[in-house]
Structure 1
Amino acid sequence: MRMAKVSDQEILNGLMSVFRSKGYDGASLNELADATGLKKASLYHRFPGGKKEMTSAVLDFMESWINNKVYKVLSDSQVAPAERLQEALVNINAVYNEGREVCLYRSLSMDTGMALFGEKIEKGINQWLESFSILGRAVGQDEDAAMQKAKQTFIEIQGSLVLSKAMNSTEPFQKAIQQTTMRYKI
């Protein structure tokens, strides 16, 4: 009997879930295979570079997601700033499962993950910051204020994910989303 084909999207989502919860060092090949629905041999066939290549693929996927769901949305000058922010926050809420998921960058910024992927992590965070800075400038903030508010937004959203996980409650994350809305109110 032939096994059902597993899509690239399913594989990346499975890998991401393990890396989010375990980080790079804590993620075992057995857990990665289980999360993708593949046997280890099939996983290695798709990712001959092993766990490092899997992590790189997940980070590339996250970079693409930020570009499409945050950067392009927040920088679209054809759309009113309030609408841009609303759409971006809906996307952010979805990627973090309303505050139930931790940030991939946080999980991979420990130990070996940072040593191997620090440049990719930094690029993704900078893209996030630039996105919110563009929005800030669109609502009349000067360049410095826009970047400071972008950094504060990142800190609050990421910090709220840690707090939400620790408290087993999505309330801190949802409050951070609301605070972000207020920060960019016109």
Structure 2
Amino acid sequence: MRPQKILDEELIIGLTKTFRAKGYEGTSLNEIAEVTGLKKASLYHRFPKGKKEMAERVFDHVGNWVEDHIFFALTDENTKPRQRLVNALAHIRTLYNEGNETCVFRAFSMQAGLELFEKQVNNGMKSWINAFTEIGLALNLPSAKAKEKAVQTLIEIQGSLIVTKGLHDTTIFESTIKTIEKRYLE
């Protein structure tokens, strides 16, 4: 058996980058082939269900990273709540490359993408809200206030990424992260 030309991890990173940049609808197989360095036949060999399966793998990859880094940081009971929040926000900076990367929720929430990935987008957003609600509770916020802050946090992160991209100004994203930290720790 011939060795794979490109390792799975490299392939998923390339797919993630492409989908983040162009969205699901805007990403063509030609672009995916170009970014990954694989021919269409090789892509279909690895992903028999085509672009949809590639996108599902991207969702899994990003979801696992978020779970392992951000959600774990927010819920790690071996760390003091204030530090948990600081750690999670640092991981959010990494996930979005200091505001330079688009969120996969946006990439997969346009027309056809949302029809295909509505469950993943919905579950992903609920997971973000639950994790931030948990840190709010750990910081002794009343339940309703913790959930309210969690929803607002998700809105602000997602919104700041759009505005940061639109204005080509990463200070917007950084300012949002600092505002979130301040709001939780006041």
Structure 2-normalised TM-score?
Answer: 0.95
C-alpha contact 1:66 1:124 (8 A) present in aligned 2: no
Structure 1 partner of 2:32? 32
Structure 2 partner of 1:133? 133
CA distance in 2, matches of 1:37, 1:96: 24
Q: Does residue 44 in structure 1 map to residue 44 in structure 2?
A: yes
Structure 2 partner of 1:71? 71
Offset of residue 37 of structure 1: 2.2
Task: Look up the SS of the partner of 2:73 in the other structure.
Answer: helix
C-alpha contact 1:66 1:127 (8 A) present in aligned 2: no
Offset of residue 4 of structure 1: 7.0
The CA deviation string for residues 43-87 of structure 1, in whole angstroms up to 9 with x for no partner, is 111101100100011111121112111111101111011211111
Offset of residue 115 of structure 1: 0.3
C-alpha contact 1:15 1:54 (8 A) present in aligned 2: yes
Q: Which runs of 5+ in 1 are unaligned?
A: none
Structure 2 partner of 1:173? 173
Q: Which runs of 5+ in 2 are unaligned?
A: none
- Counting matched residue pairs gives 185
Structure 1 partner of 2:7? 7
CA distance in 2, matches of 1:87, 1:46: 36
User: Percent identity between the aligned chains?
Assistant: 44
C-alpha contact 1:66 1:128 (8 A) present in aligned 2: no
| Superposition RMSD in Å | 1.4
CA distance in 2, matches of 1:129, 1:37: 37
Q: Does residue 151 in structure 1 map to residue 142 in structure 2?
A: no
The CA deviation string for residues 1-27 of structure 1, in whole angstroms up to 9 with x for no partner, is x88732212111111111112111111
Structure 1-normalised TM-score?
Answer: 0.95
The letter for the 1-side match of 2:10 is: E
The CA deviation string for residues 87-124 of structure 1, in whole angstroms up to 9 with x for no partner, is 11111101111001111101210101000110011111
CA distance in 1, matches of 2:114, 2:67: 21
CA distance in 2, matches of 1:120, 1:142: 29
Task: Look up the SS of the partner of 1:184 in the other structure.
Answer: helix
Equivalent runs, 1:44-123 vs 2, <5 Å: 44-123=44-123
CA distance in 2, matches of 1:33, 1:21: 15
Runs of 4+ in 1 over 6 A off after TM superposition: none
The letter for the 1-side match of 2:26 is: G
CA distance in 2, matches of 1:170, 1:120: 27
Identify the range of structure 1 (160-169 vs 33-42) with the bigger mean alpha-carbon deviation.
Answer: 33-42
CA distance in 2, matches of 1:123, 1:66: 13
CA distance in 2, matches of 1:103, 1:15: 13
